[in-house]
Structure 1
Amino acid sequence: MKAALVNRKMGLFLALAGGLALGVAWWVEHVLQIMPCELCLVERWPWRILILIGIIDIVLPGAAGGPVLWLAVPVLLASVGLAACHAGVEWQWWPSPLPGCHAPHITGRTMAERLASMPLRPSKPCDAPTYLVPGLPLSMSVMGGLYAAAILAVFFIWKRRVARTARRIFY
């Protein structure tokens, strides 16, 4: 019973952590009017999956919920990896792996054909970092990677404490 409650708390923590990450991204895009690049949009997917993992754990505690929490580890590692990839693009270490991050290819012979082949909205290049905090040289992608690493650290610390507590009870 107690383990299920502890797992539910971790599930709630993961769901809230994912919600906070997506909430900040929404605020930057819709309130600050800073358009995301294609890599930024891809970096949001691990947070959506993390919310789903947290909700599954809350709804299905115990046998089904506890093991589901471990799926957060590869999801958070993927988030860190995507952030590292995006940071490398921003720092000009390598080109973006996504075609949408490059200049659009406008095709056509007539002006009407060229206008029709243009994207509906101008895209933000992936190598143009977005800095939210003045004077802090950390882009949003780097801050997202650090945030994912911090959530992963909290997860392992939490799991370690739960395991220690369980050992004390049984021994």
Structure 2
Amino acid sequence: MALAAHAERGADYRYGAVALFMTTGAILAALGFQYIGGYVPCMLCLIERYAYYAAVPVLFVALALTSGSYRGLAAILFFLVALTFLANAGLGVYHAGAEWKFWPGPETCGGGESLSTTAGGLLNDIQGIKVMRCDEASFRFLGISFAGWNVVSSLLIMALALRAGLAASAGRR
């Protein structure tokens, strides 16, 4: 009986830790494709990264709170992360649908890189930047674009954060 209770208390930690690991890995992969692979992100790609940037510190804090008497607050944080990634999955579906021409993408979507403010740097930027449109997939792996993989990743992280939140809320009773 005591072993089962101990295992349940650790469940929120394990699921939350995997969510943190996946979130960090996904954002590092995106940055690697951008800066090492040369894939310039579009505006929607950059917006889709916000969920990952926000989730890393929130998941870290939630994990720190699971071992103490603040498990209820940890559960709330895990649920907020799950909600964030549900919204991010929706944005990814919109983006992937625009790439597959199921619906039009945003009119304002051009390149995601920022330009220099000096005249010489601006000229170099204009000559060197490849503008990515939101309705064109720059790369596909197994037939799925970066936006499609964002949907898969977001749904997995959402499920992990939701499970961690349920375990944390069950442990506070």
Instruction: Using structure 1 for the length normalisation, give the TM-score.
Output: 0.72
Match for 1:96 among 83, 102, 105?
A: 105
Which residue is 2:139 aligned to?
A: 131
Structure 1 ranges of 4+ moved more than 6 A? none
Q: Which amino acid aligns with 1:71?
A: L
The question of 1:54 aligning with 2:54 is answered no
Pairwise CA distance, 1:14: 2.1
Q: What is the distance in 2 between the residues matched to 1:119 and 1:82? A: 29
Q: Which amino acid aligns with 2:86?
A: L
The question of 1:72 aligning with 2:97 is answered no
Q: Using CA pairs below 8 Å that are at least 6 residues apart, which structure has the higher relative contact order? A: 2
Query: Are residues 69 and 53 of structure 1, via their aligned partners in 2, closer, same or farther at CA, if it must alter by over 3 Å?
Result: same
Match for 2:90 among 81, 94, 115?
A: 81
Q: What is the distance in 2 between the residues matched to 1:155 and 1:58? A: 11
Consecutive unaligned residues of structure 1, counting only runs of 5 or more, are: 103-111
Instruction: Give the percent of matched residue pairs that are identical in Structure 1 and Structure 2.
Output: 22
Instruction: Using structure 2 for the length normalisation, give the TM-score.
Output: 0.71
Describe the superposition over 1:67-94 as per-residue Cα deviations: whole angstroms up to 9, x where unpaired: 2111122111111111111012111222
Task: Let me know the Cα RMSD of the aligned residues.
Answer: 3.1
- Rg comparison, structure with higher value: 1
Give the total of aligned pairs: 151
Query: Are residues 14 and 57 of structure 1, via their aligned partners in 2, closer, same or farther at CA, if it must alter by over 3 Å?
Result: same
Pairwise CA distance, 1:59: 2.6
**Are the equivalent residues in 1 in contact too, given 2:13–2:164 (CA < 8 A)?**
no
Q: Which moved more, 1:139-148 or 1:7-16?
A: 7-16
